[in-house]
Amino acid sequence: MPIDRRQFVAGSIAAAGLSAFPSLLSAAIKPAKKKLNILFLGGTGFLGPHTVQYAIDRGHKVTLFNRGRTNKDMFPELEKIVGDRDPKKGKGLSGLKGRQWDAVIDTSGYVPRIVGASSALLSDNAKQYLFVSTICTYDNWAEGGNFRDEKSPRAKLEDPTTEDVSQHYCALKGYCEMAADKAMPGRVTHIRPGLIVGPRDKTDRFTYWPVRFSKGGEILAPGKPKDLTQFIDVRDLAQFMVHTIEQNLTGEYNLVRPSMPFGDLVESCMKVAPEGTKVTWVPNDFMQKNDVQPWRDVFMWADSESAGAGALTWSSEKAIKNGLTFRPVDDTVKATVEWFQSLPEKRQTKLRAGMSMEKELKVLNAWREHNKNKS
């Protein structure tokens, strides 16, 4: 079916993610006292655009360095340097030589050799290097949260020369941190986010919940309302990152919302649900028996008695003391649904994470039968 111009324009805006930037429409953000010259290594995927937009809104001068492949038409007003982070590929980092920046924001580093190359090349030409790492870089991350802080040790690799990111993503981030520290000692900010959620998140791990609630009906909620969840709104993260540059904060920062009961997230999601929506809590052991697994069928949740619950209980006290703030979860839920509903229809037909409605219904029916037989 041919699409009309209005549909095309709406679709393009959604695809470019422009609807994810309400700050474009409001003048609520105050400009920074000192204008900085910031280089982004990346900038056009998920976290990048939110951070770039917030930096622009604060009045900073932004340059993007990337391969010009991902959302290449985004931010047409900015200077773009085309190259590859891997010095072995294409023009490599040559476009960055001889330029000066106040700070570098690296959202796209996964391999220590590559992060080492950019931080070494920029060490004389940039004052500060912000590297986006991950909360899972800690040794024993999934079991070990228990409200621990940045002093926890990093995971170690048997072979530190590996570049197998799919196998060793978490540990490699820690080695990237070390590579940046080696090149710019005392001038690196290590940002360690938990699950990043909100508009433009293409994984749908969090998005599943607000979108599922927006459809209404009977909804399967996992485990118990007091089981914990933990995440960070991409917009809160973006603001803190720019804040660390403005305040020249260096060192390690865990970036997560304080853990909250899953039941609170459900309450926020109910606010985007149509009237008559019903929530049914299904215990973990029943879900397991019915082939519903955490991190395969159910995201953002862990049974509080399971070993994996530690993944959702890290501390971000240090970042909070240094200026991290959180918008209400209601806002995250609402913005996520609005963003998702602005995407092309085809993208909306199937969520990329969470249970299918068929599977959910099957488990809910089985739970109903189980309870009937008990009574």
Ligand X SMILES: NC(=O)c1ccc[n+]([C@@H]2O[C@H](COP(=O)([O-])OP(=O)(O)OC[C@H]3O[C@@H](n4cnc5c(N)ncnc54)[C@H](OP(=O)(O)O)[C@@H]3O)[C@@H](O)[C@H]2O)c1
Footprint on this chain of ligand X (rule: CB under 6 A): 42-49, 66-70, 84-86, 107-108, 132, 134, 193, 195-196
Closest contact distance (angstroms) between CB of 39 and ligand X is 12
Judged by beta carbon, residue 180 or residue 282, the one nearer ligand X is 180
Please identify, using beta-carbon distances, which residue of 238 and 287 lies nearer to ligand X. 238
253/255 Cα distance (integer angstroms): 6
Nearer to ligand X, 67 or 127 (CB): 67
The minimum distance between CB 97 and ligand X, in angstroms, equals: 15
Q: What are the angstrom distances between the C-alpha of 276 and each of 53, 98, 273?
A: 38, 62, 8
Residue 85: CB minimum distance to ligand X, A: 4
| Residue number with CB closer to ligand X (43 or 112) | 43
Q: Compute φ and ψ for 196, nearest 5 degrees.
A: -90, 130
How far apart CA 48 and CA 50 sit, in angstroms, is 6
Provide, rounded to whole angstroms, the least separation between the CB of residue 177 and ligand X.
Answer: 12
Task: Pick the closer one to ligand X by CB: 213 or 231.
Answer: 231
Minimum Å distance from CB 141 to ligand X?
Answer: 11
Cβ 73 to ligand X shortest distance, Å = 11
Question: What does the alpha-carbon distance between residue 329 and residue 198 come to, in Å, rounded to a whole number?
Answer: 10
CB of 173 to ligand X, least distance (A): 7
Look up residue 375 and give its two tokens. 């009574």
Work out the angle at residue 161's Cα, subtended by the Cα atoms of residues 105 and 83, and round it to the nearest 5 degrees.
40
Which residue, 73 or 159, has its beta carbon nearer to ligand X? 73
Q: Name the residue nearer to ligand X (CB basis): 201 or 360.
A: 201
Residue with smaller CB distance to ligand X, 70 or 306: 70
Contact 282, 221 (CB under 8 A): yes
Work out how close the CB of 181 gets to ligand X at its nearest, in angstroms, rounded to a whole number: 17
